[in-house]
Structure 1
Amino acid sequence: MPVGKRAIFALAASCLLLAGPASSRMLREPAKGSPERAAILDALRPAVEAEMRGSVEFVITSMRVSPGWAFVQAEPQRPGGGTIDPQRTGFRGEADMMDGLTVFALLTFQLGRWNLVDHVVGPTDVYYAGWPKRYGVPPALLGLE
């Protein structure tokens, strides 16, 4: 390979290697009990409560925030830690085709508040894999680097 092409190749490879870590360094998890974490969950809660047919609290498995975006993976439960019976939710009769009640959600920060963009409950595949293309969200936010 000629020296000029080798230098261009090395530069391109360096840029690709640096792009991944740089984007993941911008990710953070809001502290438990923080106003930001509460605001993100409060934006998600109405949609999940409608599907669960009642009040919910979230046990967070993962929450990642980057500038303008948030991704949440959570287990809903009844206030105080009660389990949710799928047969008493909007998923009645569908529980056999679901992988539990795990919630995956994408939110955006616009107009001074968090807004729900999309979410899914109990997917049996990586439903959110299409969100980078559909919504322009950084793949690293979703753990899809």
Structure 2
Amino acid sequence: MRGQTKIGAKAIVAAIIAALATLAPLGALAMGAGGSKPKPAVRAVPSDEVVPPVPSPTPPVAPPPAPGEIATTIPFLDTPAAPPPDLEFPTPTPLPDQVSWATYVNPRFGLRLDYPKGLFLPAPPPENGDGQAFSALDGAARFSVWGSYNVLGETAQTLMAGFAATLTPGNIISSQLTGTGGFQTIALRADKRVFRTEIAGGDVVFGFEAEVDDPDDAALADLFETIMDSLRGPEASTQTAPPAPAQPASLFDILVATAKGALEPVLGQSVALDVTTLRRAGAWAYLGGVPTQPDGAPLDWLATPFAPDWQADAMSDVVMVLMAEENSAWRVVDSVIGPTDVAWYGWVAQYGLPETLFYEP
């Protein structure tokens, strides 16, 4: 065609060979000869040619900010970034004294004990029904209450002496007989503070024991002395339960109600929560439990939107709820229904939370 130059096949092949020749050093650099360590291509330099040195790149240095200003210069990419400062989270502690008091009544022996239900969760009762164990939300304290038949004819004096024999000499802080036919002892055992009281009530012995991990925790010490004083038999005694606080609801009740408010619309029905874990760290709280019907009966999952997964055995009956406090009010930040793995583990990185919020190491 007019205005165009015809290029023959030989010229094209020659051009391709020339181009490949220029790439040969790159191939040698990338792969090496015969699998050996690659060697960089070297250009022969005439003896009379002076090759100027190649300066190394110098990272830009920003001037220091003036007083009162915030430096906004982005560090040079080749400069190692300083490690982030260590984040400190408050150790999960028991909920504050905004608690509701409840009375534990043993159906087998009739003994009774007053305790703050907002601070302690009950463990599954034993099969023989002789008592109940409780643990603090943060795991820092625990107590048990029980009854037993007085087959040995124990008295307050023999009960007190029997417990003292289990302690290391010199570790008893106080020990005294009470006017209710029992004794109260406070002592140190394995670096923990122990509170023990037993009452010889005729044919039955009632007992209570609490253990605090921090022997210097004065608040828990005062609390357990109050709980210990409330142990009594089936008949009313002259002792009175601690007065109920003025708050309409405990923080325990508030967190449970907050979690229910987020779960019920998803489940499509009213539920109660059998709480197995409730922990708090600063402005964060975590609740784990099993939803039930309001009367405590097992939840009918087939009557929920999760029926297909329940039928396929592809879910659990557990719920996990993450809550945060903002402006003195609690709200649900995240939740999972029916997880089959440790769903909260992703929240640790996502929200920058300590693992101790979710479990006791």
CA distance in 1, matches of 2:117, 2:305: 29
1:111 aligns with 2:177: no
CA distance in 1, matches of 2:341, 2:271: 24
Aligned residue pairs total: 124
Aligned position for 2:275:
60
Aligned position for 1:4:
none
Equivalence map 1:13-92=2 (5 Å): 24=91, 26-28=92-94, 31-33=116-118, 35-92=250-307
Give secondary structure in 2 for the equivalent of 1:94.
helix
CA contact (8 A) 2:95 2:251 kept: no
- Identity of paired residues, percent? 29
Q: Which consecutive unaligned segments of at least 5 residues does structure 1 have? A: 1-18
CA contact (8 A) 1:59 1:77 kept: yes
2:304 maps to amino acid: T
Compute the TM-score of the two structures, normalised by the length of structure 1: 0.75
Alpha-carbon shift at residue 40 of structure 1 (Å): 0.8
CA distance in 2, matches of 1:29, 1:93: 38
CA contact (8 A) 2:90 2:282 kept: no
CA distance in 2, matches of 1:140, 1:77: 27
CA distance in 2, matches of 1:120, 1:29: 24
Give secondary structure in 2 for the equivalent of 1:93.
helix
Select which of 310, 315, 327 maps to 1:98. 315
Compute the TM-score of the two structures, normalised by the length of structure 2: 0.32
Give secondary structure in 2 for the equivalent of 1:72.
strand
Alpha-carbon shift at residue 32 of structure 1 (Å): 2.4
Alpha-carbon shift at residue 139 of structure 1 (Å): 1.4
CA distance in 2, matches of 1:28, 1:141: 12
Report which of the two structures shows the higher radius of gyration computed on alpha carbons: 2
**4+ long deviations beyond 6 Å:** none
Deviation string 1:48-85 (CA, Å, 9 cap, x unpaired) is: 11222211111110100121011111111111112211
Task: Assess, with a 3 A threshold, how the Cα gap between structure 1 residues 61 and 29 changes in structure 2: closer, same or farther.
Answer: farther
Aligned position for 1:131:
347
* RMSD of Structure 2 on Structure 1 (CA): 2.3
Aligned position for 2:8:
none
Task: Assess, with a 3 A threshold, how the Cα gap between structure 1 residues 23 and 112 changes in structure 2: closer, same or farther.
Answer: closer
CA contact (8 A) 1:129 1:144 kept: no
Alpha-carbon shift at residue 47 of structure 1 (Å): 2.0
CA contact (8 A) 1:27 1:141 kept: no
CA contact (8 A) 1:103 1:119 kept: yes
